[in-house]
Amino acid sequence: LIGANVMILADNSRSMNEPILHPAYDPDTRYTGNFDAASEYYVTRTQAYTPRSFNRRWVSSPSANLVASDNGEDGRYSGNYLNWIFFHANATQLASLPQQTRIQLLKTVLSDLITRSARLNFGLTKFQLGHGGSVVGKCGSNYTSLLAQIAGLTANAWTPLGEATETVLDYFTD
């Protein structure tokens, strides 16, 4: 497999600004609480929040550490998950909330994969804002450059999976 070309299609869609969910949270359960379960709520900074942080008329406890995303993007929390955090999670669960967004975890995994797989020629494609994909690192790119491209990924695009896959196919057929 020395020299095999591997093009990574990284998901940099806005949904990647959502946090990694606590394993005790069940997304199929509708949790009661002050938050609208069907709405999204945004956090601009990684810090401790209370329900009152979202509405000054709500209770001021408990406190939970919530996480913002990378490159100036807000962390995106579903109201249902916030209801679980603030009105159903126990103290141990609150203390062990994952402190990463999906894009942050993706960057860690991709960087580790590239660093550990020196026998492969990696490239990187990401979603464009409105349509398709963009090859930001050709297969065989310098690893330092590729790792910098990964570190700079911002979750601010839609998810044009079909068009982005066609971009990768075109890359290999041109």
Q: Which pLDDT score, from 0 to 100, does residue 1 have?
A: 43
Q: Which pLDDT score, from 0 to 100, does residue 170 have?
A: 94
Beta strands in the chain (DSSP E): 4-10, 40-43, 47-49, 64-66, 75-78, 120-127, 133-137
The CA-to-CA distance between both ends of the chain, in Å, stands at 22
Q: Which pLDDT score, from 0 to 100, does residue 131 have?
A: 82
Q: pTM to 2 decimals?
A: 0.91
- Distance, CA of 110 to CA of 47 (rounded, Å): 26
Q: Which pLDDT score, from 0 to 100, does residue 2 have?
A: 61
Tokens standing for 29?
């359960």
Q: Which pLDDT score, from 0 to 100, does residue 118 have?
A: 82
pLDDT tens over the chain, length 174 residues: 467 999 999 999 999 999 999 999 999 999 999 999 999 999 999 999 999 999 999 999 999 999 999 999 999 999 999 999 999 999 999 999 999 999 999 999 999 999 999 889 999 999 998 788 999 999 999 999 999 999 999 999 999 899 999 999 999 997
Do 19 and 98 contact (CB within 8 A), yes or no? yes
CA distance readout (Å), 32 to 29, 37, 60, 83, 88: 10, 8, 17, 6, 8
Q: Is the Cα torsion angle 109, 114, 120, 121 positive or negative in sign?
A: positive
